[in-house]
Amino acid sequence: MSDAQPYAQARPGPILVATCGNSMGGDDAFGPLVAGALRQRPVRGIEILDLHGNPAQLLDHIEGCRALLLVDAAMGANMRPGQLLDMPWSAARERLHLSARSLSSHDPSLVDQLALAETLGQLPQYARLIVLIIPDAELGRAPRPLLLRRALAAARQIHRHAKLHLTHDASSC
Amino acid sequence: MSGSTPANDETRSIHVAAMARVEGEGALHVTMRQGKVEEVRLEIYEPPRFFEALLRGRDFREVPDIVARICGICPVAYQMSACHAIEKALDVSGQIDPAIITMRDLLYCGEWIESHVLHIFLLHLPDFLGYESAISMAKDHGDLVKRALQVKKLGNEIIALLGGRSVHPVGACIGGFYSLPETDRCRQLLPTLRTRLDEMCELTLFLARKLTFPDFDRDYEFVALQPAGEYPMNRGPIVSSRGLRIEQEQFLQVFEEQQVPYSTALRAIIKGRGAYCVGPLARLNLNAASLHSRAAELLQEICTIIQRDLPWRNSFLSLLARCVETVHALAVAGDILQNYTQPKRSRVPVEACAGTGAAATEAPRGVLWHQYRIGADGSIVSARIVPPTSQNQYQIENDLRVLAEQIISLPDEQAQLRCEQLIRNYDPCISCATHFLKFDRRWK
């Protein structure tokens, strides 16, 4: 999947921002924090879906969206904690060596959901992953202070992506 | 993973590389001695233990929203068990309007539909069709998966109708719901629901005809709720296939949670008897006469196709039991929506007072029991939650012990796969996964 011509080939529909994470799971709260930040400054055309800890819901909402921005925390042996990464989904799988468990503690994982959507022809051409690399996700622990700063940064990036899509729509009318 | 093939007399340590985490970790250790299974240990991490501690000191009104986070797949079950238990503690159970009771059933129908379909088609079916995952299965059976996902989506729409959203629904509260939908909104779901009901019947018959189920009949003690004249979800005494019949409040007099040294999960037994089995197979075997007529007809057809009448004692048949329950839930949901009129009030007023209450409801995976002690100021003094997965743990281990001997000659990789398949029969919350196991088989 190429990111070269995302706007021209985008289908009509909302920009779906799907966040995943456990607000009681330490740094796994990243996704819900981003959802919260986005809701503070709503943008027309963006639909926010907080999947909490249940990525299995994603496929119920993916059909018909013009773009998909996935937000989650990830862990892995080859990743540096604290990094905020933003890349096309196709690149994310290769560059981050994402396994099913990197992003999700519960099956079907987010990786599996997206792979399934792709297999079924339901994944929008424009799909990106915005992920914060975290060291751990401990149930009951408060998120680290860095998390909120990263969540706000992620929200700003999402607004930039949305603006590009929506600006293209306006200019092509 | 070593991939070695066992030789009976050798002393060997076979270790499979640790699989990635699930909600905590699941691990299976099998010790073989001279060709016999010496020990089977299934290790489970149990989130409800943490939540029991978290709830202490919280206001009773916060409990449904907190416990909904114990499980992302079945939040409604945790909310319902909590609401019923707390309402008993506050002595308002008898005041809940019939309309609210019915809408709680509808909410539960939504969860059964969503959870069962997810498990059947995305987690369990690949085992039976010989695929590594739902993704590889979808390449060859895309239409089947798409149709199933549409049914699952309807389950979530029902939950969102009453719960405000499908993920961690927030509409349920102590005493009822924060609000109930207008009549027209409910009726709008009916055409889609009828279509999905027909679809699910077709899909079920397809599976019954196509799938082969391994021979694995076992002598289980099945445990489920058994309300008079209805299939269990939100109420009913607790019964078993060996004559047990108790009120929900008596749960701890009969069932005991034991600590095992190798697992942070407590393992439940029936005192004086041992392991038991909860879940769709238990419910169906104990309550088939109370199925909705649509599901009862389907069950009849299935029994003819697979040439097995109830009781079904083979845990691999739980897949079909879930199919029947999904059809039941769809049919019941349709009846409720058809007859729905928005009630005057969505909840009964509830005031804080000291008390203790216990309740059980039927989560998709089985009996889920809650008990709360509430202080005079409405704060939670203590909480006790017994989830279905921990109740099945001992039975899963017993099944694995039998299976391990049957598959003794298989290489580790195949043996692990067979063990995972068996565990998935129980749809446990720890593992709903292809890759959850740390599988370790040792030969002595």
Which tokens go with B273? 């008897």
pLDDT at A75 over 50: yes
Question: What average pLDDT does the segment B315-341 reach?
Answer: 97
pLDDT at B284 over 80: yes
- The pLDDT-based confidence of A8 (bands split at 50, 70, 90) is very low
CA distance B72 to chain A (A): 5
Question: What average pLDDT does the segment B34-60 reach?
Answer: 78
Answer for the pair B336, B105: CB distance below 8 angstroms, yes or no.
Answer: yes
CA distance B321 to chain A (A): 21
Which tokens go with A67? 């773009």
From the list B79, B26, B28, the residue with the least C-alpha distance to B51 is B79
Nearest-angstrom CA–CA distance, A163 and A49: 18
Instruction: Kindly report which listed range (B132-136, B254-258, B340-344) carries the lowest average pLDDT score.
Output: B132-136
**Cβ within 8 Å of A, B 365-384:** none
From the list B1, B17, B28, B14, the residue with the least C-alpha distance to B428 is B28
pLDDT at residue B9 in the model: 45
Answer for the pair A71, A18: CB distance below 8 angstroms, yes or no.
Answer: yes
- The pLDDT-based confidence of B13 (bands split at 50, 70, 90) is very low
The predicted-structure confidence for B230-275, as pLDDT tens digits, reads as follows 999 999 999 999 999 999 999 999 999 887 776 666 789 999 999 9
From the list B66, B65, B64, the residue with the least C-alpha distance to B54 is B66
**Residue of higher predicted confidence among A54 and B119:** B119
Three-state secondary structure call for residue B421: helix
Q: Which of B23, B134, B166 sits opposite A57 (nearest CB)?
A: B166
pTM of the model: 0.89
Most confident of A35-49, A134-148, B57-71, B332-346: B332-346
Q: B7 CB contacts (<8 Å, ≥6 apart)? A: none
Beta-ladder partners of B370:
B359, B385
| φ, ψ dihedrals at B164, nearest 5° | 85, -30
Which tokens go with B331? 């049919």
Question: Helix H segments across B90-210?
Answer: 98-117, 125-129, 134-140, 142-163, 183-188, 190-210
Question: Helix H segments across B360-429?
Answer: 388-406, 412-425
Nearest-angstrom CA–CA distance, B31 and B39: 5
Answer for the pair B283, B362: CB distance below 8 angstroms, yes or no.
Answer: yes
A60 with B145: Cβ contact below 8 A: no
Question: What is the overall mean pLDDT for chain A?
Answer: 80
Q: What angle do CA B364, A137, B110 make, to 5 degrees?
A: 20
Residues of B in Cβ contact (< 8 Å) with A114: none
Residue whose token pair is 């720890």: B430
pLDDT at B318 over 90: yes
Report in angstroms the alpha-carbon separations of B261 from B42, B44, B75, B257: 11, 11, 29, 13
Question: What average pLDDT does the segment B268-294 reach?
Answer: 97
The predicted-structure confidence for B371-382, as pLDDT tens digits, reads as follows 999 999 999 999
Which tokens go with B67? 């416990």
Question: What average pLDDT does the segment B301-324 reach?
Answer: 98
CA distance A73 to chain B (A): 14
pLDDT at B347 over 90: yes
B135 with A116: Cβ contact below 8 A: yes
Answer for the pair B324, B279: CB distance below 8 angstroms, yes or no.
Answer: no
User: How far is CA A8 from its chain centroid?
Assistant: 22
A100 with B20: Cβ contact below 8 A: yes
Beta-ladder partners of A50:
A19
- The pLDDT-based confidence of B45 (bands split at 50, 70, 90) is low
Residue whose token pair is 């297999």: A119
Question: What average pLDDT does the segment B124-132 reach?
Answer: 91
pLDDT at B441 over 90: no
The predicted-structure confidence for B164-186, as pLDDT tens digits, reads as follows 888 778 899 999 999 999 999 99
Nearest-angstrom CA–CA distance, B288 and B279: 13
Nearest-angstrom CA–CA distance, B391 and B385: 11
**Residue of higher predicted confidence among B52 and B285:** B285
**Cβ within 8 Å of A, B 46-105:** 47, 50, 54, 69, 72-73
Answer for the pair B249, B358: CB distance below 8 angstroms, yes or no.
Answer: yes
Q: Which of A51, A105, A140 sits opposite B23 (nearest CB)?
A: A105
Nearest-angstrom CA–CA distance, B138 and B381: 49
Which tokens go with B234? 């939100």
- The pLDDT-based confidence of B407 (bands split at 50, 70, 90) is confident
Q: Which of B69, B134, B436 sits opposite A116 (nearest CB)?
A: B134
Residue B146 contacts A, CB cutoff 8 Å? yes
Question: CA torsion sign, A8 to A14 to A16 to A17?
Answer: positive
User: Buried b / exposed e across B298-307, counting CB within 10 Å, b at 16+?
Assistant: bbeebbeebe
Question: Helix H segments across A1-127?
Answer: 30-40, 58-61, 89-95, 100-103, 110-119
B118 with A116: Cβ contact below 8 A: no
Answer for the pair B350, B89: CB distance below 8 angstroms, yes or no.
Answer: no
**Residue of higher predicted confidence among B92 and A94:** B92
Nearest-angstrom CA–CA distance, B345 and A91: 52
Residue from A24, A54, A61, A78 to probe the interface with B (highest B Cβ count within 10 Å): A54
pLDDT at A103 over 80: no
pLDDT at residue B150 in the model: 96
Nearest-angstrom CA–CA distance, B344 and B37: 61
DSSP string, A106-157: SSSPHHHHHHHHHHTT-S-SEEEEEEEE-S---TTPPPPTHHHHHHHHHHHH
Residue whose token pair is 């039991």: B321
pLDDT at residue A108 in the model: 64
